[in-house]
Structure 1
Amino acid sequence: MASLKNLDLNAWFADFSSQFQNLNMQEPGQWPPAPRYAAFVVVALLTVGLGWVAVLSDEQSALDAERDKEPQLKEDFNNKLTQAVNLPELRKQKSQVEEYVLQLEKQLPGKAEMDALLSDINQSGLGRGLQFELFRPGAIVMRDYYAEQPIAIKVSGRYHDIGAFTADVSNLSRIVTLHDLAIVVPGTTSNNQNTPPRTDTNTTLSMEATARTYRYLDPNEVEEQKKAAAAAEKKK
């Protein structure tokens, strides 16, 4: 305590200040203690500051980015947790969908079965006593995963037989659709393709339509379609 009382602050401050005078910047190792310690502190602070700017700031940005992802990750986790809990039910639904797709694929004939399907359409008409005046398959239209076969048909017969024929076509095991139907009395025209002419049930009528059948593509055809689509995309 006696030493603190005898401490002359003015003298100490004067001595401290005098150490910063007449410093040789070329020889910092010769400086008095106070300037050396002060220089060390300044260099240390600058080093820390530059290190923060050069290294830690990037790390902070990366940390902030990861924190921003946290809500989405939590949501994904909850969704996956729900799926995991419902996994047996999801597997059951997947199996049902696959079975349904398989049933739909069975309704599309393969390339080798098309002739048999065209024969079935023809036999459906003949079985109803209709006369085929035209049965002309058109050019096959290729789609992404299936092919469409249009068939121009013209049949003549009684009204109910024509109606039964269209029902038979719709009930074939393979998918066949009828388009652009026009039913007329031979020698006349119909102004409305969807409304048959008024006549008795024994009158011979004529029906023109386009039947469209569909088949699935084999793996080679699917690959060719993908290549064609890619080539068309490059040309754009």
Structure 2
Amino acid sequence: MSRDEFDELNQSPVAPAKKKMTLDKFLQQFNTLDPNNYGSWPLSVKITCWIFIVLLVLLLSYFVMIKGKIEAIDGAHAQEQNLLNEFREKESKLRNLQQYQTQLQDMEARFNQQLDQLPKETEIPGLVEDINVTGVNSGLKFKNIRLEPEVKQEFFIEQPISMEATGDYHAFGSFVSGIAGLSRIVTLHDFEITATENAEKKSDIPKIDYVVKAKTYRYIGNNADSTTETDASAVPPAGGAQ
């Protein structure tokens, strides 16, 4: 065997170059598809169709089943948040309500305590006597103490008491302090103070004449209750004389 023949035998056959797949060739494969013979379709076309079908199924599943569930879940979360906010608001109102009830009870207790300090109609003469005793103990000399006509207000009845007295400044100050310490509510108004020379004691301290109006108050509910009781007692019993 010659050297040339040996070289020809050792020479390997050259593999044919593979054709590259381009986009145009890939699209041309869809134009030559046989819809009645799926098995003859190229592998790349089959893979593309399966990917398209899977994506279509996923999209349909999302819009048909998953999207509605997600919206329902979002709605449930929003409703849960609204219910939590409503619960917090009601809980806050409940805590404030308990505080308001406590404050209301305290206010009612103070209000009833204030009502207890308002004299009833039958206690007015005793109150006038207390005012007189307070003035005498303070060093005042009363010229006159008289009840004036009552003044009816919306929720209470005002009872003015006109007073005329004589004494020095110290006695009047002690009298005002004594009035403030009475168990019943009494206010002083319309002061008229006149100073004259003290001729009797021949002192440099002037003689003071006071004209003062005191006012006490009676809760109109007490008067209404007493009026109701009086009216009820005045009703003749059934079956009386005609």
TM-score computed with the length of structure 2 as normaliser: 0.50
Is the 1:145–1:222 Cα contact (8 Å) retained in structure 2? Answer: no
Following superposition, the deviation at residue 109 of structure 1 comes to 1.1
Confirm whether residue 175 of structure 1 aligns to residue 185 of structure 2: yes
Secondary structure at the residue paired with 2:183? coil
**For residues 161 and 180 of structure 1, do their structure 2 counterparts lie closer, same or farther at Cα, with a shift above 3 Å needed?**
same
Within 5 Å, which residues of 2 pair with 1:6-25?
none
Which structure 2 residues correspond to residues 1-236 of structure 1 after superposition, within 5 A?
Answer: 80-186=90-196, 202-218=205-221, 221=224
For residue 132 of structure 1, what is the amino acid of its counterpart?
A: F
Q: Deviations over 1:158-217 (max 9, x none)?
A: 2100111112112212111111112112479xxxxxxxxxx95x4321111111111112
Is the Cα contact below 8 Å between 2:197 and 2:207 reproduced in 1? no
Whole-angstrom CA distance in 1 between matches of 2:207 and 2:167: 5
Q: C-alpha distance in 2, partners of 1:221/1:148?
A: 14
Q: Quote how far apart the aligned CAs of 1:90 are.
A: 2.4
Q: 1:89 to 1:125 in 2, by over 3 A?
A: same
Residue identity matched to 1:170: A
Counterpart Cα distance in 1 of 2:190 and 2:111: 29
SS at match of 1:156: strand
How far does residue 95 in structure 1 lie from its aligned partner after superposition?
1.4
Contact map agreement 1:148 1:215 (CA 8 A) in 2:
yes
Task: Indicate the percent of aligned positions where both proteins have the same amino acid.
Answer: 34
What is the CA RMSD across the aligned residues, in angstroms? Answer: 2.9
Measure the CA separation in 1 of the matches of 2:178 and 2:152. 26
Closer/same/farther in 2, CA of residues 118 and 78 from structure 1, 3 Å limit: farther
How far apart are residue 136 of structure 1 and its match? 1.5
Q: TM-score, length-normalised on structure 1? A: 0.52
Gaps of 5+ in 2: 1-84, 228-242
Structure 1 unpaired stretches of 5+ = 1-74, 189-198, 225-236
Using the TM superposition, give the Cα deviation of residue 128 of structure 1 relative to its aligned residue in structure 2, in angstroms: 1.4
Greater RCO (Cα-Cα under 8 Å, separation 6 or more): 1
